[in-house]
Structure formats: structure tokens, C-alpha cells
Homo-oligomer: A and B are copies of this chain.
Amino acid sequence: MSLAKVQYDYICKQAKEATLLHTAADALEWDERTGMPPAAGDYRAQQVACLRGLAHQRRTDSRYADYLSELNQELSGNDPSDLPAATVKCLHRDLQRDQKLSTKMIEHLSALTVRGQQNWDAARKNNRFSDFQKTLEQIVNLKREIGSRLREGTENTAYEALIDEYEPNATVKHLDQLFQTLREPLVELIQRIQDAPRRPETNLFQRALPIKVQREISRYVATQIGFDFDRGRLDETSHPFCTTLGPDDCRILTRYDPNHLASGLFGTMHEAGHGVYEQGLLTEWFGLPPGSYASLGIHESQSRMWENQVGRSQSFWKWLTPELKKRFAPEYDGASADELYFAANAIEPSLIRVEADEATYNLHIIIRYDLEKQLIDGALQVDDLPSAWNDRYKQDLGVNVTQDSQGVLQDVHWSAGLIGYFPTYTIGNLISAQLFASAQHQLVDLEEHFSRGSFRDLLEWTRKRVHQYGRTMTSDELVQQATAETLSSDHLVSYLKAKLEPLYGI
């Protein structure tokens, strides 16, 4: 066996064992969020930390680092479609980041953000930012330091180095340009909708519907989308998410409101979108880059496409409405498909990101992006954050924040150390619109299929254009390859206008 083969086998073994340990930790976290006994949290944290630590060791030991560096030099000229070469390239990239941070720093961040989330939770309940301010300052300072270490030897700013963990290769220049060209037309569109002559009957979705029935509807829709229940589960939790515990074990979680069908239904479609992406990755490469997701932006594009481009389309409601009435909920007998479609597209500036509609949602993200960028580069201090937040909400969304809990304290992310994460949500929205435009262009009768409850063509298209590549292409390369264009905000703007203008009669 050649030396290169020995080296390659070793790094794959280590990376796969790290994944084995990470997915075991992920299973423990899934359990923690679906019904672990209340008193069991402390020991569970120890179990998870132990497993994550062992995983980190496997991806940083000196033999692993040496082999990877040698292989990376050797294979650097290879074609990116050569999967072993792509594997080495991605793992080498990860190693560059991982090596810049000491174990001590990672432990410090881990401890600080566990306390940070507890502290945030209490402050939010007390509705008082000042209770959380000191902890957030510590987190921001540590993340500044981490960012400045990670940027060493690159052309990134500290903030870009932080984003890179979630969306590799993203630059502030590009994001600024994307978000700027998105923001202006969105603000204008939202304003016109607020002055529109027609309004949807939003209370159509606000009728009592037993959770048992909502579960059946969610499971039915997830199955139709293509989520494979032989290789996954759908459960309930307070903050919906999707997690992958093995090549044939994807768990999606939603939450139901007994008086609001749309909440649980769109939540399920969103998470099922993440789920079908995970289920579409190459199982034989599980635990290695060709079998891993490309970026959080790409991941979010898949969830958003099923939630929005599909779930909030006229053809989807043309299919679901009679199914709803006939199979699940005679409560909906009085409502027409078009009325439900309109209600699913209610646009209204509001205070809370997770409840925001498709158009205003991105304004929430852009505000967070601008503020966290300033926090990291030092232009904004933590004690000025609430007023900066409130000013921007007034200015961008026209709403008054009167309580911290409904303002700067609403999201868990910063308390968990997730700074640089928010932009991936809007990147995902942009990508989903651009991908969907291509799919519409390339596939025949797509919406006619939707109106019959058939989503297979779209799923197959995403499998072929996105899923099968795993992490062997960057986000930008994937978008270019699938849509023959670089990423822009045009498609999301056109899509929203094309849908909302006729609906609202503007």
C-alpha cells in the first residue's frame, strides 16, 4: 500500500470516528430537547462535552495534521470532482481553523455560552437587557479574539472569519451588496402592501384544531415532500430544528399551536426541507465532506424552498385545501384554496423574527447583520445595543420596540456565541429563490404537479443539482453550477413581487 493510501485511510478513519462521536452527542442533545427528565441536565452536559472533546482530539492530533498537510500538497492540483481530493481539501481547510484555536479557548467559549444561554433566558423572562449585558460583553470580547485569531494568514476581517464557520468564503463586501440590493425593493414592496386595497383573512388559520390532527397533517405533507420516515423521525420540541444522527437517521422537530395550523405546518415543511437535504447526501460518504452539507446558507435554501416557494404557493394550496377538508379537518369546510393561499401570504411588519413573513423576515436579518458586524469591529458597544436595535426596528420596519424581550433579547444566538450566523438565513432565502427560478425554468409543469400533490420532480432536481455534491463544491460554486449565475438578490425580489402584487392588488 502506498504511503498516500495509508495517510488517506488514517485521516478518513479519524474524521469518521469524530463524526461517530459527534452524532452520538447530537443524539443526546436530541433526547435533551424531546423529553429528558428535568433534573438530568448537568450530567447530560458532561456527557456531551466529553464526546465533543474526544471528537476534537481525533481531528487535531499531530499525525492527522501531518498526514493531511502532506496529502493536501500532493493532491492540490486534482479535479474537485475527485472525491478523495475534495475530502482532503475540505478537511485541510477545517484543520487550518481548528489549529488556530487552543483547546483552552474552546473550553472557555463552551463554558461561557452554556452560562450565557441560561443568563439570556433569565434576562428575557425578566424582560431586562441589563441582566444579560455583562455576559454578552464577555461573549463579544471572546468572539472578537477568536475572530482575530482565525483571520490570521487570511484576508478576512475578524467578523468574516466568524461568518466563515457557518458560510465558508462569505465576505462582508458581497453580503453588503446582496443585502443592500435586497433591502430597498423589499422596503418599498412592504410599504405598498401596507397601503394595499386587499388584505388576507388571517384568522382563517386561527381556528382550534387538535394537535393530534395537526400531527397527521404534518406527517402527511412531510411524506409527500419526500421525507423518508424509514430513515428519519418527526417529533415535537419548543424550538424546532433538524439534526442528523447517522446516514439513515435524520430527525426533524416542529411545534404545534392548537389554535394555529399554519405555525406547525410551515414549521414542519421548513424542517422537512432540511431533512430531505440531509437524506439526499451520499450515505456511503457519511462523516466525510462529500457526504456533508455544503454550508448553512445552502442548508437554509432547502428548508426555505419547501416552506416558501412550495408551501406558500397557489398550487400547493390548490392541492392541500381539499385534502385538508376531506381527510383531516372538516373544520376547514368553509375556506377556499385561494383564501388559504392568500392567508398563507399575509405580510405585516412585526417585532419578532421567527414569526415574520417571507418579505419582512429579511429586514430582521439585515438589522442583526449590521449590528453584529459593528459589535465585532468595535463600532458599536454592547451597552448601546438596545437603543441601536430599537432605532433600526423603527427605521426599517416601522415598529416600536417597547420591551427588551420583544426586541434585542428575542433570539438565543448571541448568547450561544453564534455571531456571524444570522446572515446565513437571508443567504438561504436568496439561494432558494434563485434555485427555484432555475427549477421552474428547467422542469415542465412544475406547478401543475404541485397542484396534484406531486413534488418528486423538484426533489429530484435538488438531489441532482445540490444534494449529491455535498461539500465538494462551495456555496457559490453550487449556485453557479445549478443556476448558471452568481448569487444575487434579483430572484427573491422578482419572486416576491410576482406573487404578492397580484394577491394584494398593487
Chain B residues near A232 (CB-CB < 8 A): 37
State whether B233 touches A39 (Cβ < 8 A). no
State whether A249 touches B44 (Cβ < 8 A). yes
Closest partner residue, chain B, to A245 (CB atom): B40
Copies of this chain present in the complex amount to: 2
Q: How far is the CB of A59 from chain B (nearest CB, A)?
A: 15
In the docked arrangement, what's the CA distance between A31 and B17, Å? 20
Chain B residues near A25 (CB-CB < 8 A): 24
In the docked arrangement, what's the CA distance between A250 and B38, Å? 11
In the docked arrangement, what's the CA distance between A248 and B24, Å? 20
Determine the main DSSP class of A at the interface with B: helix
Q: Is A246 interfacial (CB-CB < 8 Å)?
A: yes
Chain B residues near A23 (CB-CB < 8 A): 43, 47
Q: Is A231 interfacial (CB-CB < 8 Å)?
A: yes
State whether B233 touches A43 (Cβ < 8 A). no
Q: How far is the CB of A343 from chain B (nearest CB, A)?
A: 34
8 A Cβ contacts from A204-231 to B: 229-231
8 A Cβ contacts from A43-70 to B: 43-44, 46-47, 50-51, 54
Q: Is A27 interfacial (CB-CB < 8 Å)?
A: yes
Q: How far is the CB of A247 from chain B (nearest CB, A)?
A: 6
Q: Is A109 interfacial (CB-CB < 8 Å)?
A: no
Chain B residues near A54 (CB-CB < 8 A): 54
State whether B27 touches A230 (Cβ < 8 A). no
Q: How far is the CB of A276 from chain B (nearest CB, A)?
A: 14
8 A Cβ contacts from A85-130 to B: none
Instruction: Specify which of A21, A44, A246 lies most central, judged by the most chain B CB atoms within 10 Å of its CB.
Output: A246
Chain B residues near A245 (CB-CB < 8 A): 40
State whether A231 touches B28 (Cβ < 8 A). no
Q: Is A484 interfacial (CB-CB < 8 Å)?
A: no
State whether A246 touches B47 (Cβ < 8 A). yes
Q: Is A506 interfacial (CB-CB < 8 Å)?
A: no
Q: How far is the CB of A203 from chain B (nearest CB, A)?
A: 32
State whether A248 touches B47 (Cβ < 8 A). no
Closest partner residue, chain B, to A233 (CB atom): B37
Q: How far is the CB of A442 from chain B (nearest CB, A)?
A: 31
Chain B residues near A40 (CB-CB < 8 A): 231, 245-246, 248-249
Closest partner residue, chain B, to A48 (CB atom): B24
Instruction: Specify which of A38, A51, A249 lies most central, judged by the most chain B CB atoms within 10 Å of its CB.
Output: A249
Q: How far is the CB of A14 from chain B (nearest CB, A)?
A: 12
In the docked arrangement, what's the CA distance between A246 and B37, Å? 10
State whether A231 touches B37 (Cβ < 8 A). yes
State whether A246 touches B43 (Cβ < 8 A). yes
Chain B residues near A27 (CB-CB < 8 A): 27-28, 31, 47
Q: Is A35 interfacial (CB-CB < 8 Å)?
A: yes
Q: Is A443 interfacial (CB-CB < 8 Å)?
A: no
In the docked arrangement, what's the CA distance between A229 and B40, Å? 11
Chain B residues near A51 (CB-CB < 8 A): 24
In the docked arrangement, what's the CA distance between A44 and B286, Å? 13
In the docked arrangement, what's the CA distance between A245 and B27, Å? 13
> When the two chains form the complex, which single residue of B28, B35, B47, B230 contacts A37, counting CB atoms closer than 8 Å?
B230
Show 9 A/B contacts (Cβ-Cβ < 8 Å), sorted by A: A20-B50, A21-B50, A23-B43, A31-B31, A37-B232, A38-B230, A39-B249, A40-B245, A43-B246
Interface residues of A (CB under 8 A from B): 17, 20-21, 23-25, 27-28, 31, 35-40, 42-44, 46-47, 50-51, 54, 229-233, 245-250, 286
Q: Which 3 A-B pairs rank lowest in CB-CB distance, beginning with the nearest?
A: A43-B246, A40-B249, A39-B248
Known A-B contacts: A37-B229, A37-B248, A44-B246. Give 14 more (CB < 8 A): A17-B50, A20-B46, A21-B50, A23-B47, A24-B47, A27-B31, A31-B31, A36-B233, A37-B232, A40-B231, A40-B245, A42-B248, A43-B246, A43-B249
